Amino acid sequence: MLKFTKIERPSTPREAYELLRSSKTARVMGGGLWMRLQHRAIPCVIDLSACGLDQIEESDDAFVIGAMTPLSALESHADFVRATNGVFTAAVCDIVGPQFRNLATVGGSLYGRFGFSDVLCALLALECEVKFTGAGRMSLADLCEEGYPRDVLERVVVHRRPYQASYKCLRRQATDFPVVNVAAAYWGDEWHVAVGARPCRARLLTGSQLGLESKRPSREELARALEAVRTLPFGSNYLASAAYRRHVAGVLAVRAVCEAAGMEVPAPLEGRFEDEAKALGAEGAEE
């Protein structure tokens, strides 16, 4: 059972930050939906719901998304959906259900850096920054790599780019945690591919790391990208084995890149996928 000794509801991010800094045992609560699954006592919880961080602001060059914005608000935001080629909506549409997404927040999903996070995987492939009260702004990729700052996440900034993007995911059934998820986006004259649910947190690979040199990659480039994705570390859990995840991640990455590029997956590669799946046999999700 999760127990709180005290709940603080500051009215500004700065107040929340000072509360957090004043107590080593204090914890920030966003939507609280994953926190409620824990079994522990927390002496002080800082609830950000009164800090005015639930708005989506638009400018000519970016979307500024408050950390307390519900997933459902962002997935249904027409301008954001158009600007990002629908990649976020595709990523979150199978997260439990509408009632859950009305409560789960964008900031909570990103700050937690959960290995299974569809939100983190989708936004990592776009040009995103996060803004903290104390530490200021940093790229989402840096947040993934550098770890948790003891800070208050205020906003997520998604820059406007002519994104060509696609999200691919494998689940055992709808609303399950993903077995593997992949987001691919072309912007800034380069491909960006995020691979998550390995079951570790998502990792970002760029065009030079993937061997993707053109906007419409050749079969040879896609084959290089396939192998590059499969060099990432993968692990096993109750959902799937490492070998199965490695196979699926490569397949999804190629399909996501091709869909974003508006092209079909070359037939020789599709045939290779089928042969590999047969060779893998029943190893998949039982380990």
**Predicted TM-score (pTM) above 0.75:** yes
The residue type found at 262 is G
Indicate the Cα dihedral angle 61, 142, 243, 92, nearest 10°: -40
What was the pLDDT predicted at 260?
97
**What single-letter DSSP state applies at residue 70?**
B
- Whether residue 283 is predicted with pLDDT greater than 50 in this model: the reply is no
Confidence of residue 285 (pLDDT cuts 50, 70, 90): very low
Q: What is the pLDDT of residues 160-183, one digit of tens each?
A: 999 999 999 999 888 889 999 999
123: helix, strand or coil: helix
Computed over its alpha carbons, how large is the radius of gyration of the chain? Answer: 19
Indicate the Cα dihedral angle 240, 33, 93, 168, nearest 10°: -30
- Whether residue 233 is predicted with pLDDT greater than 70 in this model: the reply is yes
Q: Which of 149, 157, 128, 145 is nearest to 66 (CA)?
A: 157
143: helix, strand or coil: helix
- Whether residue 134 is predicted with pLDDT greater than 60 in this model: the reply is yes
